Chains A and B, each alone.
Chain A
Amino acid sequence: MRSTRCSGPPLHRLADAALSRARALGGGYASCRIQRVRSARLEVADGAVRGSEDTTRTGLGVRVFWGGGWGFAAVPELTPRAAAAAVDRAVTLAKACPGGDADLAAEPVYPEATWVSPYRTNPFDLPEADRVAVLAGWSARLLRAPHVRTVVAYLSTVQDNTFYADLAGTTALQQRVRVHPVLFAFGEDPRTGARAALRTLGPPTARGWEYLEGDGWDWDAELASVPEELAAKLRATPVEPGRYDLVMDPSHLWLTIHETVGHATEADRALGHEMSYAGGTFVRPEDVGSLRFGSPLMHVTADRTSAHGLATVGYDDEGVAARSWDLVRDGVLTGLQHDRRTAARTGAGRSTGCAYAESATHVPLPRMPNVSLRPATGGPGTGALIAGVEDGIYLVGSDAWSIDTRRHSFQFTAQRCYRIRHGRLAGQLAGVAYQGDTTGFWGALRGVGGPDTYGVFGADQCGKGQPLQLAATSHGCPATLFGGVRVVNTGTAAP
């Protein structure tokens, strides 16, 4: 296990300065986070570097409950004096905003906890030229196809070091690393002039550079398939609107899970805390244990523990140990996602460890863990699911998404959409978007693939909160079949 790294004076001394000040002021709760997030973004267009950015954000944030209100303050300086001053500012804010709920769900104390995400090679340890060389090589490979006009490749790498301490005595030092290479191939049919774009499906993952070398994703196979798939997309025929059976590849379904299940089961939404911006949810806290969310084939788990999960940690930003739990079992809602405040407010007993802040300057909020649909033991393969469809569409890769403020009425599109006729794929379709409502859609779940079809995908730019905070989360799922879903053609004048 590697040692964690976080710059500045000894972290305990900084945290002690903040917590001692909070104790002296008589606050009921206080925590301190010292965080350094390094992120790099590389853009390569047709093999040439178009941009390279390397950003390191460091700061200290304190959160207090004082005199009936919550307050938060952050400073850039990592000095004991600045840490203590931040507490004073947070207390000033707590005084100004009284009427808060002081109850926090109880959590054991974890003194001197440490946790490091598993990876072999830290991508920041590689020279820039090596990183560029991989993207340029991949781009050149795609550009060999005559119909590929342009290839734009991006590489995102992040290293997050966090030190958390609170008045109860928990201290947690953690390090997370993640990477996400993605290529966009823009094509033109030389005969028809039709244009289309295709994005690689390799997801963001909490791995190191070894991910680009094939550990966790077969880049070689995907790059080999892109030119042919793009050529087929250029020849795609417009979809006829109607109701279809949809077979979904995990590379597509993960985003539907994220939007319809992940966000719908956030307890702060259920309590109305996000109503003005991110929105609410059709789920009410009292629905746990009774709400029919989907068909009996639907089993959804949440966790902050799965290997290489983007939301995986040892401890959350309220010092809660990571865990896993069920959100939906046999199609019935069985749980929500909590931080310590929502767990106390709803009587959930214990936080599920979902408090997260993007940086030291952000207030922790309940954020989505890894949320995944379980495969069916002995379930069918993707081919078998397709073979059982008389007239349908097979969707691969995520694209545009949009859902209402109740997390109920939605529309999704895909990277590639294949017509299914008589159990066989029959060319790509253009303009496919499916619409529905969350419970109706999951109620139409008719087939769940076996473990062999399972794949893990995810989002590394999920936005929520004000000021807006970005978080990363993974979603695993098998291939699935949904019956009779409404499909519109976005290419027509009035879809």
Chain B
Amino acid sequence: MVETALAAAGARGTEVVAILDEVSSAHVRWARNAFTTNGIADDRRLTVVALGAGRPPGVATVSGALTGEAVTAIVAAADAARGRGDEPEPPPPVTTDEGDGWARPPAAPAAGGLPTFAARLAASFRSAAAASHSLHGYAEQRTRTTYVASSAGLRRRHEESSALLDHTVRSTDGTASTWTGTTARELSQLDLDAAYDGARRRLGWWRRRVALPTGEYEVLLTPSCVADLMLRLYKAADARATLDGRTVFAADGGGTRAGERLAPAPLTLHSDPRKPGLECAPFTVARGTGAASVYDNGLPLTRTGWIDRGVLSTLVGGRQVAAGGVPAAPEIGNLVLSAEGGGVGTLDELVARTARGLLVTSLWYLREVDPRSLLLTGLTRDGVYLVEDGEVRAATNPFRFNASPLDVLARVREAGRTEPTLPREHDESTPRTAMPPLRVAGFAMSAVSDAV
């Protein structure tokens, strides 16, 4: 398919990058201890990027029945999508050729483990019903095999598999609720029992309730909460938008804030395509005209620090923007926050060292209020707990907050051990994340909610 696209481009005299994604997904959803929806979907997507001749690139994607006619048409569409304006001198094309590995067939479809997982889930429904608990959630398995090739000789292949469990356990009367998110490589590795055990423990914390007012609190954020905040920061670190003066990382008077200390704590935010358990594409795959540059397709990716021991070091951008002297490196599909020395223990250990504070277990409905300060608004969800004298004392009401992830970093007093986690606001594009629990001082809660 990819070679057909390259041949069609050659016949037109067009320089292209062709990306074929063989995607397979299987999912199941449940609510109130019963299955609701499910699905198995296979898809095949061919993306063609037309480049060269001093014109802006054009991108066209077609999925579904990829006949020779469709492939030829999509090459023409990519060519037609190119702009007429002048394009700055692009970086040299990447020409890495994997040789024999390139032509291996795609990964096996994702659906195989779903019946077994569903059977485990059905057993959980029965257990939960007997315990007056109500299970709601979602699990998925995805496989993706990506082939990237270009007229310049690039030939690279990447295969990835991922699974996730997004699990809410509520009391059947709807007065208590907890959430767990976990990730793995395969559905069979998702531990439903462990998720349920953790939920039962937290549901026990709802036996005592206290109403708390708005105001500033010391908060303990779970790794999932931290992941949601750091992903927003990562997305905002776009070098091009920063140079336009549109992000929080733009310096007054022009340029970037690279080199500036963002957090007093020695926290490091980095990406590494070879991070064990969080492996992602070890080369750039730019299927559109977003943060990843189409000129960097196939570019090898290595460990990149975005914040180094509290100091902003690198923004997200391709070689084109980096060539202008901007400290930028290509986007990578995972994100890790870690404390110097590996952190100071687990979330439970942070709780045990807390005199008084709030344990926030997940965040929800984060929206950007002001891009220039990266001010976000959002809510806590499915469990905020009052911690006193080293123990969880009671569940309290959810809160709304208005806060910037940078402000949160600046207020970190303690960071625990980094562990893989699922951000609550995950979607298909969410990178794999590993985050520590954080103790944050003076976190301002702006309003209370009556949700459970």
Contact surface of A with B, Cβ cutoff 8 Å: 7-8, 36, 40-41, 43, 45, 47-59, 61, 69-79, 89-90, 92-93, 95-100, 127-129, 132, 149-150, 186, 188, 193, 195, 197, 271-277, 279, 360-363, 365, 399-406, 408-409, 411, 413, 433, 435, 437, 463, 466-468, 488, 490-491, 493-495
Extra contacts besides A76-B44, A400-B368 (14): CB < 8 Å: A40-B81, A51-B56, A52-B83, A53-B61, A69-B35, A70-B37, A129-B84, A271-B31, A272-B136, A276-B167, A402-B379, A404-B449, A404-B451, A435-B447
| Segment of B91-99, B114-122, B205-213, B339-347 engaged in the interface with chain A | B114-122
Given contacts A51-B289, A99-B122, A490-B370, contact A435 B400 (CB under 8 A): yes
Are B427 and A275 closer than 8 Å at their CB atoms? Answer: no
Interface segment among B22-30, B273-281, B303-311, B415-423: the answer is B22-30
When A73-B41, A273-B31 are in contact, do A405 and B85 touch as well, CB less than 8 Å?
A: no
Chain B 433-449 per-residue mask, 1 if CB under 8 angstroms from chain A, else 0: 00000000000101111
Residues of A within 8 A of B371 (CB): 197
CA of A274 to CA of B114 in the docked complex: distance in angstroms? Answer: 21
A76 in contact with B64 (CB, 8 Å): yes
Tell me which of B34, B428, B446 contacts A467 (CB under 8 A): B428
Asked if B78 is at the interface (CB within 8 A of a chain A CB), the reply is: yes
A-B residue pairs, 6 tightest by C-beta: A51-B289, A49-B83, A58-B64, A409-B449, A494-B444, A96-B115
**Do residues B444 and A495 form an inter-chain contact, with CB atoms below 8 A?**
yes
Contact residues in B for A98 (Cβ distance below 8 Å): 35, 122
B82 at the interface (CB under 8 A from A): yes
Establish whether residues B379 and A467, one from each chain, have CB atoms under 8 Å apart when the complex forms. no
A selection of 5 A-B contacts at a CB cut-off of 8 Å is: A52-B81, A53-B289, A57-B61, A365-B37, A494-B215
Complex: A409 Cα to B398 Cα, angstroms: 10
Indicate the member of B40, B378, B446 with the most A CB atoms within 10 Å.
Answer: B40
**Other-chain contact of A49, B64, B85, B369 (Cβ < 8 Å):** B85
A184 CB to nearest B CB, Å: 9
Interface residues of B in 370-405 (CB under 8 A from A): 370-372, 375, 377-379, 381, 398, 400, 402
Contact B365–A402 (Cβ < 8 Å): yes
B58 touches A72 (CB 8 A): no
Output the nearest chain A residue to B425 by Cβ-Cβ distance.
A277
Is residue B367 within 8 Å, beta carbon to beta carbon, of the partner chain?
Answer: yes
A78 to B245, CA, bound (A): 47
Q: Could you mark each residue 21-53 of chain B with 1 if its beta carbon is under 8 Å from any beta carbon of chain A, else 0?
A: 000010111011011111111111100000000
Complex CA–CA separation, A274 to B137 (angstroms): 9
Q: Is the CB of B36 within 8 A of A413?
A: no
Q: A466 to B26, alpha carbons, bound, how many Å?
A: 11
Please tell me if the beta carbons of A433 and B245 are within 8 angstroms of each other in the complex.
no
- Asked if B138 is an interface residue, CB under 8 A from chain A, the answer is yes
Q: A53-B288, A71-B38, A413-B369 are in contact. Are A466 and B27 (CB under 8 A)?
A: yes
In the assembled complex, the Cα of A77 lies from the Cα of B63 at a distance in Å of 10
B157 contacts the other chain (CB 8 A): no
Residues of A within 8 A of B244 (CB): 45, 149-150, 186
Instruction: Give the residues in chain A near B85, CB-CB below 8 Å.
Output: 47-49
| A8/B65 in contact, CB under 8 A | yes
B164 → A minimal CB distance (Å):
10
Contact B64 A36 (CB under 8 A): yes
Nearest B residue to A97, CB-CB: B35
Q: Does A276 lie within 8 Å of B166, measured CB to CB? A: yes
**Does the CB pair A149–B245 fall under 8 Å?**
yes
Chain A residues with Cβ under 8 A from B40's Cβ? Answer: 72-74, 89-90, 93
| B451 in contact with A467 (CB, 8 Å) | no
Bound together, the chains give a CA A435 to CA B44 distance in angstroms of: 45
Summed over the interface, the residue pairs from A and B with CB atoms below 8 Å come to a total of: 275
With a cutoff of 8 Å between Cβ atoms, the chain B residues found around residue A433 in the complex are: 369, 377, 402
B252 lies within 8 A of chain A by Cβ: yes
User: What are the residues of chain B within 8 A of A69 when measuring CB–CB?
Assistant: 35
Report whether A52 and B56 are in contact in the complex, using a CB–CB cutoff of 8 Å.
yes
Closest to A495 in B: B402
Tell me how far the C-beta of B231 lies from the nearest C-beta in chain A, rounded to whole angstroms: 15
Q: Number of B interface residues at 8 Å Cβ cutoff, please give it.
A: 91
Confirm or deny: B364 has a beta carbon within 8 angstroms of a beta carbon on chain A.
yes
Binding site for A on B (CB under 8 A): 25, 27-29, 31-32, 34-45, 56-66, 74, 77-78, 80-86, 111, 114-115, 118-119, 122, 134, 136-138, 140, 166-168, 170, 179, 215-216, 244-246, 252, 288-290, 364-372, 375, 377-379, 381, 398, 400, 402, 427-428, 444, 446-452
Partner of B367, one of A47, A78, A400: A400
Q: Closest chain A residue to B289 by CB distance?
A: A51
Check B78–A54 contact: CB distance below 8 A.
Answer: yes
Known A48-B85, A76-B65; judge A93-B38 contact (CB<8 A): yes
Chain B residues with CB under 8 A of A363: 37-39
**A195-B245 in contact (CB<8A):** yes
- Which of A76, A193, A271, A433 has most chain B Cβ within 10 Å? A76
A59 to B66, CA, bound (A): 11
Bound form: Cα–Cα A289–B67 in Å: 54
Return chain A residues, CB-CB under 8 Å to B61. Answer: 53-57
Q: Which residues of A contact B119 (CB under 8 A)?
A: 96
Residues of B within 8 A of A365 (CB): 37
* Contact status B58-A52, CB under 8 Å: yes
Contact of A59 among B63, B137, B245 (CB under 8 A): B63
For B245, list chain A residues within 8 Å (CB).
149-150, 186, 188, 195
Chain B proximity of A280: nearest CB distance (Å): 8
B168 to chain A: closest CB distance in Å? 4
A491 CB contacts on chain B under 8 angstroms: 370
Are A78 and B65 interface neighbours, CB within 8 A?
yes
Chain A residues lying within 8 Å of B140, measured Cβ to Cβ, are 466-467
Check A408/B37 contact, CB under 8 A, given A76-B43, A96-B118. Answer: no
Partner of B25, one of A149, A276, A408, A467: A467
Q: Which residues of B contact A129 (CB under 8 A)?
A: 84
Give Cα A393–Cα B41 distance, bound, in whole angstroms: 49
Which residues of the partner chain A approach B138 to less than 8 Å between Cβ atoms?
276-277, 466
Complex Cα spacing A363 to B77, Å = 29
Q: Give B232 Cβ to nearest chain A Cβ, in Å.
A: 13
Bound-complex Cα distance A129 to B138 (A): 44
Instruction: Specify which chain A residues have a CB less than 8 angstroms from the CB of B27 in the assembled complex.
Output: 466-467
CA A129 – CA B134 in complex, angstroms?
56
Q: Which of B35, B59, B63, B377 contacts A57 (CB 8 A)?
A: B63
Of all chain B residues, the one with the shortest Cβ separation from A357 is B39
Pick from B31, B179, B215, B447: contact of A272, CB below 8 A: B31
With A72-B40, A76-B42 as known contacts, state yes or no: A52 contacts B82, CB within 8 Å: yes
Which residues on the B side are within 8 Å of A274 (C-beta)? 31
Contact B364–A405 (Cβ < 8 Å): yes
Contact in complex: A92, B38 (CB < 8 Å):
no
Are A74 and B137 within 8 A (Cβ)? no
Evaluate whether A490 and B402 lie within 8 angstroms (CB atoms) in the complex, with A73-B39, A402-B377, A409-B451 already known: yes
**Which B residues lie within 8 Å of A41 (CB)?**
288
Q: Is the CB of B41 within 8 A of A50?
A: no
Question: Do the beta carbons of B36 and A404 come within 8 Å of each other?
Answer: no
Residues of B within 8 A of A36 (CB): 64
Chain A residues with Cβ below 8 Å from B35 are: 69-70, 97-100
> Please, which residues of chain A bring their CB within 8 A of the CB of B137?
276
User: Is A406 touching B166 in the complex (CB atoms < 8 A)?
Assistant: no
- The residues of A that contact B167 with a CB separation of less than 8 Å are 276
Give the chain B neighbours of A411 by CB distance below 8 A: 377, 400, 402, 446-447
The answer on a CB contact under 8 Å between A406 and B447 is: no
In Å, the complex CA distance between A86 and B381 comes to 38
A423–chain B nearest beta-carbon distance, Å: 29
Instruction: Specify which chain B residues have a CB less than 8 angstroms from the CB of A132 in the assembled complex.
Output: 83-84
